[in-house]
Amino acid sequence: MEIGPEAQEALIAALRRVAAAEILPRFRRLGAGDLDTKSGPDDLVTVADRAAEAAIAEAVRAILPGAEVVGEEAVAADPALLDRIAAAEVCAIVDPVDGTANFAHGLATFGVILAVAVRGRTVLGVLYDPIGDDWIVAGRGQGAWFGRPGAPPRRLTGPTPAQPEAARVYLPLSLYRAEDRPAVARTMAGLGHVAALRCSCHEYRQLALGHAHALVTPMLKPWDHAAGVLVVEECGGAACLADGGGYGPTRHAGHMAVAGDAATARALLARLPAR
């Protein structure tokens, strides 16, 4: 099953509309009662996250009747909802404000992520930047495209090969166990530039736009990666797991590298210390 162009356009329009109504009016305007924590002090949620997720879910159900919706905030309240991704015929996976900590602290590096999976396989991914009001969209077998209002879509070719000493890699060191961080940092010392934007949406956008070479992560939350991996794959890139498998939104644990080709992704994983 494909998500046709009319449905794609409607979903992108819904993300833009929800961002304009629920996210942007609250950016740098959060009040004392608008911020909360979930699993720990660094796991933030705002009133914008919750309002946007509810509005996106409503829009998705109108555009894709019968679809399940699995959102980050809903799963935080009920982890069993994750099982719906594998069980549903059609499931939309939503991160309403990806990069919540950035958003909450007034940094403009945040986005909205939407993926659609059919029988557990991602068929559509959207990475939307509310600040720039532009998006990257990929349909399986249709390529990845950069879009913005009033301009024709531009096809993206993704990250290009680079020697390790020149490679720009996103690696969120804070997501590793504290005892593993020194060893992980040492293995990446020979790379040209290692950083983290604390926003999967923008990290994947940078890969798709050719401004970064790879991404490495020890966490596989589907709202962070389902859309972005499809975008990079549709640019000609690859996602590899440390166990030798490929990525899908039903994989919720593992260590993954995403790059312009499988050899680069596997080489990055090989640098990491054994877990």
What pLDDT score does 203 carry? 98
Q: 14 and 147 share a domain?
A: yes
SS3 label, residue 41: coil
User: Each residue of 80-133: pLDDT tens digit?
Assistant: 999 999 999 999 999 999 999 999 999 999 999 999 999 999 999 999 999 999
What pLDDT score does 275 carry? 60
Q: 123 and 145 share a domain?
A: yes
Distance CA(242)–CA(227), nearest Å, equals 20
- Show which of 155, 188, 219 is a domain's final residue: 155
Looking at the structure of the chain, the number of domains it has is 2
- Show which of 105, 128, 155 is a domain's final residue: 155
Q: For the whole model, what pTM was predicted?
A: 0.96
Q: 21 and 127 share a domain?
A: yes
What pLDDT score does 265 carry? 94
- Show which of 132, 155, 178 is a domain's final residue: 155
Residue 230: give the domain boundaries. Answer: 164-271
Asked whether residue 212 carries a pLDDT value surpassing 70, the answer given is yes
Residues in the chain: 275
Distance CA(76)–CA(15), nearest Å, equals 21
Mean pLDDT across 39-63? 92
What pLDDT score does 38 carry? 77
Q: 116 and 18 share a domain?
A: yes
Q: What is the CATH number of the domain that holds 67?
A: 3.30.540.10
232 or 41, which is more confident: 232
Q: Are 181 and 209 within 8 A, CB to CB?
A: no
Judged on CB neighbours under 10 Å (0-12, 13-18, 19+), 153 is middle
User: Each residue of 154-211: pLDDT tens digit?
Assistant: 999 999 888 888 899 999 999 999 999 999 999 888 899 999 999 999 999 999 999 9
Q: 216 and 96 share a domain?
A: no
Distance CA(86)–CA(41), nearest Å, equals 30
Q: 134 and 168 share a domain?
A: no
Q: 129 and 48 share a domain?
A: yes
Specify the DSSP class assigned to residue 252.
-
Mean pLDDT across 6-34? 96
Residue 194 pairs in a beta bridge with: 169
Query: Residues of the chain with pLDDT > 90: what percent?
Result: 88
What pLDDT score does 43 carry? 74
Q: 133 and 235 share a domain?
A: no
Confidence bin at 2 (pLDDT 50/70/90): confident
Confidence bin at 139 (pLDDT 50/70/90): very high
Asked whether residue 141 carries a pLDDT value surpassing 90, the answer given is yes
Q: What is the CATH number of the domain that holds 171?
A: 3.40.190.80
Q: 21 and 148 share a domain?
A: yes
